Structures are given as structure tokens and as C-alpha cells.
Amino acid sequence: MASTSIDEACERFLGHIKVERQLAPNTVTAYGRDLADFARAMDAKSVRRADGVRGLELLDYLAGAAEALQARSQARRLTTLRMFFRFLKAERLISADPTEDIELPRYGRKLPSVLTLAEVEALLASPDRRTPRGARDGAMLELLYATGLRVSELVRLGMAQVNFQAGYLVAFGKGRKERLVPVGEVALQTLRNYVDAVRPVFLTPGRGKRAVRPTDVLFLTHLGRGMTRQGFWKLLGGYARAAGIRKALSPHKLRHAFATHLVERGADLRAVQAMLGHADIGTTEVYTHLSRAHLRNVYDKHHPRSR
């Protein structure tokens, strides 16, 4: 078994998750930061070979991290190291995994703040759909709530990704993973209206407007260019204020509302996981906690012996 330096092992691992596992660039960058910090800490202890890392060095390193990081960041760092050493063992670059017997204390998961159904309905009613921009914005909001897409997935949607006849769309999530997502009839109808009546207008050259190149991008600005994430965030903030929503609102809050409202009404968690594009069911399980909180509130409010 060849002895490999920690720096070389880190490079091989990052190449593996980027090329073979096709993790998102931001995820690869986060793992790279964690491993760079770990490599510096090991170098300070004169541990420079991957097979020279022992459980005691790891515990000492994680104990130091515990003083500087919150529990969630500590857990993420241990997760990074577990993946790293499991990869090295699978590649036969080390004989033993030093993370096997290391655990961090459990920590509470912070539940995301969720829009109520009344707030969602007020938000969806805010755009003036008699205007071209209002029709587009209404279609974007309806589609986001109907599908739980990430904002990056929404603004990258192409015309060919939506099947109006069958009532679903094809989304490309993290790592370009493909998934099919059903689209409700209300969202489909607003989308049809936008595609038929508004999108062609945005693609038509007008006074003071440059000729527009043909594009497959579904949601366009009035200049015929693709909507950006920043542009959508800005218009969402305006509609939230118009709807009287005082909570800090982001596109991700509509994704949370989509999942929570489905789970509250009895949707299967695996189905919600598939629609959201979560790789791990544990990520989706947060919505079961939100649903329990909803049931508790209903019980406390309506059961005669609840108090």
C-alpha cells in the first residue's frame, strides 16, 4: 500500500466528488475548505501522510473546532472527514478509517419558518396579471409553489422541459441530476397564458430595444433576456410587501411551503423527497417535524381537554 500525503489524498477525493459523483460546485468548495483546514491542523502536528492520522489526532482536531464552530458546522466537518477517509479506505490508500468510532453530540435541527396557506394565497394574488410583467410574475410564483423548485432551477427552465399535455416538468438539480415533477392545473394554466400571450411579446424587438436572439429559456425579462436569480428575488420582495407579509421572504420559503403543505395533508415523505430532489430522506424529514407542530397547534386550539 503506497503512502499518500494528506494534500494528495485531498486532491484525489475532491476530484472524485466533482467528476464521478458530480456534486454541485458549491458543495465541492465547502468540502475543500474543510479539508484544507484539516490538512493545516495535521501539518502543525507533523502528521503529513494520510495513513498516519489516528483517532486521537482527529479527536483533538474536532475538540478544537468545537470551541470555534457551532454544532451544525462541527457535524458538517465530521461528515466531510468521514466521507474523505471512507474514500481513502475504499481506494486502499489507508488500512483503517480513523473516523469509525467518532461521534458528535446530537443537536437540535432548526425548523425553517413557513408561510401559511393564507400568506401564500395573498402572495400569489399580488401580481396584476392583466399586464405582461404581472402575467409572467404570476406564472413564476405559481410554478414555484406548485413544484417546490429551487430558484436556480426555476430561472434555468427551458421551454422543452415543460410537458403541458402530461402535466409535469423536468428539473435539473444539484449535480445536474434529473427529476420529474408534477405541475398542478392552476400553475399550468397561468404558465400557458404567459407562454401564449406574453413570452412572444418579450421576444419581439421594439423601439429602443435590440434584436433578441432566439432562446429556449422559459422566463424572460421585458428585454427578451433570461430572468436572473437576483431579478426574481427583487420582484418577490415587492410582491411580499404588497401582500402584507412581514416575514423575511426568499424563494426558498416557497419551496418550504410547498413541502410542508403537502406533508400536512398526508403526502408520502418519499414522494416529497423525489419532488424536491433531496438525495437524503433525512433532509426531507424536517417537514415531518413541521407537520407535527401544525397538528399540535390544531389539537391545542380545537380539543376541549387540551388545556
Known catalytic residues are: 150, 174, 252, 255, 278, 287
**177 C-beta neighbours (distance < 10 Å), count:** 12
172 sits in which H/E element = strand 168-172
Q: Which residue has the cell 410554478?
A: 143
Give me the long-range contacts of 81-87 (CB less than 8 A, separation at least 24).
Answer: 81/34, 81/38, 83/13, 83/17, 83/31, 84/9, 84/10, 84/13, 84/31, 84/35, 85/53, 87/12, 87/13, 87/16
Whether 202 contacts 223, CB under 8 Å: yes
3-state secondary structure of 200: helix
Whether 74 contacts 65, CB under 8 Å: yes
Grid cell in block for residue 91: 481506494
Q: What is the C-alpha separation between 127 and 194, in angstroms, rounded?
A: 13
Across the beta sheet with 178-182, what order do the strands follow? 162-163, 168-172, 178-182
Grid cell in block for residue 97: 478509517
User: Residue 222: CB partners within 8 Å, gap ≥ 6?
Assistant: 132, 133, 202
Whether 258 contacts 147, CB under 8 Å: yes
User: Residue 64: CB partners within 8 Å, gap ≥ 6?
Assistant: 41
**104 C-beta neighbours (distance < 10 Å), count:** 15
